[in-house]
Amino acid sequence: MSTRSRPGASQARPQSGQFPKSSTADLSGEYLELERQCASSPSDLPTRRRMLQLFLALGAPPDLSGKSHLLEDRHSIPRVAVLTPYSREPLRILERCHQSVRSQTIECSHIFVADGYPRDELDAWDVRHLRIFPPSNDSGDTPRKLAGEAAAERKFDAVLYLDADNWLRPRHAESLLALSLARGVSVCHAGRTLHRDDESVMPLIQQGDNCEHVDTSCMLLTSAAFKLLSIWGRWPRALSPIDDRLFWRAIQSNGFECAFTGALTTCYEATHLGFYRALRETPPPGTRPDLDLELLFKWFGERHCAMIRRETRRYASNGRRRE
């Protein structure tokens, strides 16, 4: 259900002879050190580029990313729900998404919300399957809101967002939760790799990731930030294509302290033309045009920034009164 893209990407192609002959253990150790450096400095593009290069040189091992943040106490792990809106994605895409949740190193519950086009096959899966009809047509905002409210009602300790066409590496949930507990923060986010339609990793870094912008599928919120779960869709529907940017702004305007794992634990299917242009590759059929972010931001303007701040503060205030 991802519809968002931002022009501008930095290439991170491994070059011949770039990495000296070393053991896999040595290279893995260097990778985790780079992961820690990226966590402390999300805007350090050269370090992020080198980390991706090394990740590709190692063969993109799925269980390496996130190893720099491990839970110390595995006997009392908080309850985590993964929230996935979906619409018309093929069943194989939904299966890939769900299998990545099942493969997490800590137990996670999975909540799917069908936005107008439910797949009855999901009723046989070990998930909670909710339905919306007619479709909301708001880039997943209404399903995310409904899923978040369902998770809060069931007293989960934390939620992760995962769009249906994306998937997670095994240590995604654990690394985010471990960082949240270690730092005492209520919002954490991970890095992502960009993928072609055959799931191969693109040697690209999205400029501004984890600084100006955090993709929805990279976020974890603990219960201390659950007052934000109902924010989805509080903006004009025309802005839904940039809803993750608006949600990130809402997090910041409410003063929530955030932390970055530095780990490439989210796999993002790159379906927009700009990613392929950056690599000078022929895009596959069905690739979507890039969003005109400048036009959207111009339309948004300062008046709408003030509206988002006002709405999020109002919700936060209501939450405090209910407490």
Average pLDDT, whole number, for the chain?
89
Residue 309 has what pLDDT? 60
State yes or no: pLDDT of 261 exceeds 90: yes
Model confidence at 239, in pLDDT bands (50, 70, 90)?
Answer: confident
Is the model more confident about 304 or about 227? 227
Model confidence at 314, in pLDDT bands (50, 70, 90)?
Answer: low
| Residue among 250, 224, 231 nearest 157 (CA) | 224
pLDDT digits (tens, 9 = 90+) for 88-97: 999 999 999 9
For range 3-31, the mean pLDDT: 65
Model confidence at 278, in pLDDT bands (50, 70, 90)?
Answer: very high
∠ CA 184-64-81, rounded to 5°? 50
Residue 306 has what pLDDT? 61
Least confident of 77-91, 116-130, 281-295: 281-295
Residue 311 has what pLDDT? 57
Residue 297 has what pLDDT? 64
The owner of tokens 């070393």 is 22
State the maximum Cα–Cα separation within the chain, in Å, rounded to a whole number.
61
State yes or no: pLDDT of 277 exceeds 90: yes
pLDDT digits (tens, 9 = 90+) for 68-81: 999 988 888 999 99
Residue 312 has what pLDDT? 59
Residue extents of the structural domains in the chain: 9-322
**Domain 9-322: assigned CATH number:** 3.90.550.10
What does the block give as tokens for 71? 């839970």
For range 52-60, the mean pLDDT: 96
Model confidence at 319, in pLDDT bands (50, 70, 90)?
Answer: very low
Percent of the chain with pLDDT over 90: 74
Concatenate the DSSP letters of all residues of 189-247 into one string. Answer: EEEEEEE-TTSPBPSEEETTBTTTB--GGGEEEEGGGGGGTT-TT-S-GGGGGGHHHHH
